[in-house]
Amino acid sequence: MVRPLTENYFVSPQILPEAMAQLAEHGFTDVICNRPDSEIGPELHHDVMKGAAEAAGLMFHFLPLVHQSLLETSNSERQRDIIEAAKGKVLAYCASGNRSSVVWALGQAGVRPANEIIDAAAQAGYDLTQLRPMLG
């Protein structure tokens, strides 16, 4: 289930390679994989997903996040840079969509008001209230 956080940034749980063509048909230009290969079987590893994305004409970005690295500034900056450089809609996925929401939220700190960030995530089904102190 693809959930919007902004008009151009969407998050979802794990997608399948065959979803890439549908994403391209719906105006997506970029896909960010925030899920490490160690969490999934080889049929969903990032190299398989990258091949499916590129075959559908999508840019594919691999930024695996684990609990220990989720709050690192370099990851939220990289995610934000990918989103800002995209020429269309961006889908980021992980196991549930939560990590993709958290890394987006941290990248929006100082850009958007904290309430706006938390509300956008809440509307998509993600509770990020615990991040409020980090969002400004």
Dist CA 111 CA 117 (whole Å): 10
Dist CA 127 CA 136 (whole Å): 17
Dist CA 109 CA 106 (whole Å): 5
Q: What is the largest CA-CA distance in the chain?
A: 41
Mean per-residue pLDDT over the chain, rounded? 97
HSE toward the beta carbon, residue 39, CA cutoff 13 A = 15
Q: Dihedral, CA atoms, 40, 46, 48, 50, nearest 10 degrees?
A: 150
pLDDT of residue 37: 98
Q: Which residues form the domain of 92?
A: 3-135
Q: Give residue-wise pLDDT tens across range 45-72.
A: 999 999 999 999 999 999 999 989 999 9
Q: What are phi and psi of 65, to 5 degrees?
A: -125, 135
> What are the angstrom distances between the C-alpha of 9 and each of 33, 38, 45, 47, 95?
13, 25, 22, 22, 17
- Model confidence band, residue 115 (pLDDT cutoffs 50, 70, 90): very high
10 within 8 A of 83, measured Cβ to Cβ: no
Q: Give residue-wise pLDDT tens across range 3-36.
A: 999 999 999 999 999 999 999 999 999 999 999 9
- Model confidence band, residue 129 (pLDDT cutoffs 50, 70, 90): very high
Amino acid at 109: A
Dist CA 82 CA 119 (whole Å): 22
Across residues 38-42, what is the average pLDDT?
97
pLDDT of residue 60: 98
* CATH number for the domain that contains residue 45: 3.90.190.10
* pTM for this prediction: 0.97
Residues recorded for the chain:
136
Q: Domain count of the chain?
A: 1
Q: Give residue-wise pLDDT tens across range 74-110.
A: 999 999 999 999 999 999 999 999 999 999 999 999 9
pLDDT of residue 136: 86
